Amino acid sequence: MAVNTDRASNKPLIERRSIDYIPEAERHGRLFSQFTLWMGANLQITAIVTGALAVVLGGDVFWSLIGLLIGQLLGGGVMALHAAQGPKLGLPQMISSRVQFGVYGAAIPIVLVCLMYLGFTATGTVLSGQALGQLFNVSDSVGILIFASVIVVVTVLGYRVIHWIGRVASVIGVIAFVFLFWRLMSQTDVGALLQIRHFSWSSFLLAVSLAASWQIAFGPYVADYSRYLPSNTSAVKTFFAAGAGSVVGAQVAMILGVFAAASANGQFAGHEVAYIVGLGGTGATAALLYFSIAFGKVTISTLNSYGSFMCIATIISGFKGHLTVTRMQRLVFVLVIVGAATLIALLGQHSFLGAFKSFILFLLAFFTPWSAINLVDYYCITRERYDVPALADPNGRYGRWNLLGISVYVFGVLVQLPFISTKFYTGPLVAALGDVDISWIIGLVLPAVVYYVCAKKWHSAVPDQLILPVEQNSVVQPKTSGAGRAAAQA
């Protein structure tokens, strides 16, 4: 279907909404922007490094590529199912978790999501700082500070500018990646690398886990960037637009990382940005590649910072009631968030690669159960029938704390512990499985099954249809209850 874009032209450059429901009169955008946003977010240096890890940590090229593709498809499917919720609900992703966890209880996974954003922003800032340091002939630390300043500006501007940046980043990313692939193929015997095949379950599942965790980590905020689309936007088309952009972009970047690491003879780790740019040449070519790397990181780092802002506002609003965020408050939030991430980046820039691998794998233990619960509830239990005004009412339909959702979530985290293998923690069953980490599979499947069975018996009453806030002159009305909500437009 074609999505009406006429309404976008009269929208302010600086976004005025935060975690509010987006009224229909303010909906705008095209499905293609979902594709370009997520492609631009993935055609970047951190995805290259993630793919390279599959080889750096012991895998061969052939089976690493297959494992990464399987992980992209599995994790990308989870990510895209979250994206499809945005147009229907008109809400940020994590505020809808109040259905499963309660108005107060949703703060539990949201706090962990904030830590995830902080970590990804920090690690992305390290790589961007390296690129800007080389581009402007300054130290990596100064490059980190320059990049952080850009992220603050774009995050404060908000939704429309983020999507515009995503489109530009997609174009720059495609050009840069085509050039780098061409240079890599001309310098490397790709056929010889693909002929080296030493299958290992641990290395293969590591590749699957790297890609799956990369995609699943987008789940907590992907609907934030589809919520402005008109409510009649096809959920299936939203699924494929966001999912395809993310999967294609990430797989292309990770393929480049795999071949780069395999042909680097040990020179990749610790010099990721310099090695990738070195594939392309020196002088003006290198300068353009450093710029493309830094610009490519703007999209995803802004998504992380914007998501952090949305999550913090969601937590505060859950305990204090309706929250109206002024532009000055938004700026303060963003400065604190980006400032914290920048500090972490400055302190941890010299031990990046190993810490990053452990970080993204450990994240799975906390986000796969959340994804499982949210998706099962939305698509199988409530079947998209949310009471949106009640999400702001601790005394309403969803209550303060939802013990069912919280209990299954805790179970989903704990049941993974015997199977986790990271620097932070290694479970007792990992060695028996040949050092293979299957925790993310356990964390997706078991909580989904348990929540489905339990929710069928003990889930609170589900509305007969989706209940949205009453709209008048594009202003969201104060929350209502009882008959007032029943009269809301569905």
pLDDT at position 3 over 60: no
Residue 472: phi, psi to the nearest 5?
-150, 115
With contact defined as beta carbons under 8 Å apart, do 258 and 55 qualify? yes
Q: What's the token pair of residue 186?
A: 């001309």
CA 193 – CA 189 distance, rounded (Å): 7
Judge whether 301 and 151 are in contact, CB under 8 Å.
yes
Tokens of 53: 């890890």
- Phi-psi domain of 422 (left: phi exceeds 0; alpha: psi -120 through 50; beta: other): beta
Which pTM was predicted? 0.83
Q: What is the pLDDT of residue 146?
A: 92
pLDDT digits 0-9 by tens, 426-459: 889 888 877 777 888 899 999 999 999 999 988 8
| pLDDT surpasses 50 at 475 | no
> What value does the CA radius of gyration of the chain take, rounded to a whole number of Å?
22
Q: b/e string for 65-84 if b means 16 or more Cβ within 10 A?
A: bebbbbbbbbbbbbbbbbbb
Length of the chain: 490
Confidence band, pLDDT 50/70/90 cuts, at residue 43: confident
Q: Is the pLDDT of residue 217 over 80?
A: yes
- In the prediction, which pLDDT does 242 show? 96
pLDDT band at residue 461, thresholds of 50, 70 and 90?
Answer: confident
pLDDT band (50, 70, 90) for residue 74:
very high
> Tell me: the pLDDT tens digits for 391-423?
888 998 999 999 999 999 999 999 999 988 877
State the virtual CA torsion across 397, 399, 402, 405 in degrees, nearest 10: 40
Task: Give, in order, the Cα–Cα distances in Å from 280 to each of 8, 127, 205, 257, 489.
Answer: 39, 17, 31, 14, 56
Lowest mean pLDDT across 51-55, 161-165, 341-345, 432-436: 432-436
Amino acid sitting at position 105: G
365 contacts 420 by C-beta, under 8 angstroms: yes
CATH number of 31-355: 1.10.4160.10
Task: Report the pLDDT value the prediction gives residue 458, as an integer from 0 to 100.
Answer: 86
Element (H, E) at 471: strand 471-472
* pLDDT above 80: residue 353: no
C-beta separation of 108 from 403 below 8 A = no
Q: What's the mean pLDDT in 86-100?
A: 90
- What pLDDT is recorded for position 102? 93
Q: How many CB atoms lie within 10 A of CB 379?
A: 14
Provide the pLDDT confidence category of residue 478 given band limits of 50, 70 and 90. Answer: very low
Q: Among the ranges 98-112, 163-177, 187-201, which has the highest mean pLDDT value?
A: 98-112
Average pLDDT, the chain: 83
Structure tokens at 77: 């499917």
Q: Are 263 and 193 within 8 A, CB to CB?
A: yes
324: burial class by Cβ within 10 Å (0-12, 13-18, 19+)? exposed
